[in-house]
Amino acid sequence: MNLNLQLVFKSRFIEELEFYMRYFLEICYKGTAYCGWQVQPNGVSVQAMINQALSTILNEPIHCVGCGRTDAGVHASQFFLHFEAENVLPKLFDLRLNRFLPKDIAVKRIIEDLPAKAHTRFDATYRAYDYHIHFHKNPFKDELSWYYNWLPLNFEAMREAADLLLQYEDFEMFCKTGGSNKTTLCTIFKTELVLDEDGNGLRFHIAANRFLRGMVRRIVGMLIAVGKEKISLKTFKAVMDKKATFPFHPSAPPQGLYLSEVRYDYV
């Protein structure tokens, strides 16, 4: 039986096999070289690299489940995954796993004492993203931030638009087409727009119970449009009030986006 068939068999019957133990891993990764988190048929993914490393160390087919999905080129400064294993984890497991993984994926810790059927995706109660923008050309930031040099920007208008998001629950206008979301309702907990002290960069922070596909990058793109006064605050609010669509759909590039925080009630 090949590895893929073993993974299918294991995922189908895992809940019935009491001798499998479930573990959480907290990791971080630089997404530049990957087609995203999820395994893809025509690209190298973060999930595929971790599956391979876990399967090699534990000498059994392992299929990990992530707390969410990130697109190609998107990073994660905090990310959780879970996996089940029949074999006992070896000593210094996290160190061995880090040796197997490439330099752009790092394991921070392993969490073993978990509630029954704990799930990294379904049990997450809080997720936060940070989006980084720099205004002056810097080759050391090119893969980790969006180089945006069309200043000036109306930062106060951008902050007002970001604050307006807290008043709404339906974000269909920011959802990328083709998504599998059963609902477009989200609860936004916090938004913050922080300008660097030297004025050379900007960080947008947003936290919610869940996010739609492409939602954060579209919000950032629209905030930039507000900052460039291509769309007014009045129009921005009118679209949100009417649950309508914007006259255009700018989306910020992936390299500035980080999944930065995920919370659980028991971790």
- 71 classed as catalytic: yes
What is the number of other CB atoms lying within 10 angstroms of the CB of residue 122? 9
Q: Tell me whether strands 126-134 and 65-66 are parallel, antiparallel or unpaired.
A: unpaired
Is residue 23 helix, strand or coil? strand
Q: Which residue has the tokens 């930031």?
A: 141
CA pair distance 2, 8, nearest whole angstrom: 10
Q: Pick the catalytic residue: 71, 130, 163, 170? A: 71
CA–CA distance, 218 with 250 (Å, rounded to integer): 6
Q: What residues pair up with 81 in beta bridges, in sequence order?
A: 25, 66
- Cβ(72)–Cβ(31) below 8 Å: yes
Burial of 118 (0-12, 13-18, 19+ CB in 10 A): middle
> Residue 139: exposed, middle, or buried by beta-carbon count in 10 A (0-12, 13-18, 19+)?
exposed
DSSP string, 131-196: EEEESS--TTTTTTSEE-------HHHHHHHHHHGGG-SB-GGGSPTT---S--B--EEEEEEEE-
Q: Taking a C-beta distance cutoff of 8 angstroms, is the pair 192, 257 a contact?
A: no
CA angle 72, 73, 79 (to 5 degrees): 90
Q: Residues with catalytic annotation?
A: 71
